[in-house]
Amino acid sequence: MLHLRVICPAEHTERVLAGLRTHPGAAHIVLVRGGAVEPAGDLIEVDLAREAADDVLSSIRASELAEVGAVTITDAGTTMSQRAERAEESAPGDADDAVVWDELIARTGEESRLTGTFLAFLCIACVLAAVGIVTDSPVTIVGAMVVGPEFGPLAAIAVGLVVRRWLLVRRAALALAVGFPVAMLVTAAASLGGEWIGLIDRTGLPADSQVSFVYQVGWPSLVVSLLAGAAGMLSLPSAKSAVLVGVFISVTTVPAAGYAVVAATLGDWVQCASSVAQLAVNLVGIVVSATAVLLLRARRARLGDGVPTREML
C-alpha cells in the first residue's frame, strides 16, 4: 500500500474527496479541515493500493494540486486492515506490475543529479576497479560494480525519454558526461601514483588476466547490458533492491572506465580502446532496454501511444 497526503485549498477539497471515494483502490480517507497552515488549506490523507495510485492521482488532478498545495506519496508500510485488503483486491492489476509515474520521475530525478556524493561514489568505484585490475582480483571488480552509482542517471534518461521530460534527460546526461571523465582523471592520478611508487608494473597488463572480461567487448556484452537494463527498469518502480544490486554487478561500466585509465597510463592503447568501447556498449544498451521496458509498460497500461499522456507527466 501507498500513503497519499494532499494539502489543498478548501475549494478543491470536495473534488479531491469525490475522486478518492469513487475509486475501489482507496481506503482510510481522512479529512482535517483547515489542518494545513503553510500552504493554508485542508489536509486529506488516504491509503492506496499501489496499482490504483496512478489512476487516483489522475482523477484528483494532482499536478494542479501541486501548484496550489502539495501532494506527497510514501510507502504505507505494514497495514492491518480489512478495508486495505479489499482495496488491493478491487484495484485492477497487480502491485508488482504497477508503475506510479510521479514516484518514478521523482526517484530517478533525485538519483540523476550531479552532486559531490555522486562524483565521490563514482571516483571510489573507478579507483576500486583499477585496484582490481592491477591485483587481478575479480572480487574487487565486483565491489566496484556495486559501489558505482551510474544506474541512477541511466534510468533517469530512460524515464525522461518515455515521459518526454527533456530537462531530466539533460540533467542525467550531464551527470554521466561530467562524472565519468572526473572519475577517470582521479583514477589516472591514482594509477600514475601507483606506478611511481612501484605498486603497478610498468611493463603492462597480462593478456591472461582473470579480469580481461572487462575490455572484451562483443555481442555478449551488448546482450548482458540489454538484459541488465531491462531487469533494472522492471525492478526500479517496485523498489526491489536485491534485483537492482544484481543489475549493478552484471554490467562492466565502471570497471571498463577503470581499465581504460590503467591501460592508458601503461601505454596499452589497444586494451584502452577496447575498454572504452565496452563502456559505450554498456551505457547505450542499458538505456535502450530500459526505455523499451518503460514504453511496453506504458502501452500495457493504456497510457496512449506508448507514452504516458496525463498532463502531470
Query: Is there a single domain that holds both residue 152 and residue 286?
Result: yes
pLDDT (tens digit, 9 = 90+) per residue, 197-209?
A: 776 666 566 666 7
Query: Is there a single domain that holds both residue 255 and residue 127?
Result: yes
Q: Give the whole-angstrom CA distance, residue 238 versus residue 67.
A: 27
pLDDT (tens digit, 9 = 90+) per residue, 30-88?
A: 999 999 888 889 999 999 988 888 888 888 888 788 888 898 888 887 888 888 888 88
Q: Into how many domains does the chain fold?
A: 2
The domain boundary residue, chosen from 98, 115, 147: 98
pLDDT (tens digit, 9 = 90+) per residue, 135-150?
A: 888 888 888 888 888 9
Whether 108 has a pLDDT exceeding 90, the answer reads no
Sheet with strand 41-48: strands edge to edge:
26-36, 41-48, 2-8, 70-75
The domain boundary residue, chosen from 68, 98, 128: 98
pLDDT (tens digit, 9 = 90+) per residue, 81-95?
A: 888 888 888 877 666
Query: Residue 180 falls within a domain, yes or no?
Result: yes
Query: Is there a single domain that holds both residue 164 and residue 245?
Result: yes
- Tell whether omega for the bond before 255 is within 30 degrees of 0, i.e. cis: no
pLDDT (tens digit, 9 = 90+) per residue, 277-292?
A: 999 999 999 999 999 9
Give the domain extent around 271. Answer: 104-300
The domain boundary residue, chosen from 35, 66, 98: 98
CATH (domain of 86): 3.30.70.260
Query: Residue 187 falls within a domain, yes or no?
Result: yes
Query: Is there a single domain that holds both residue 62 and residue 111?
Result: no
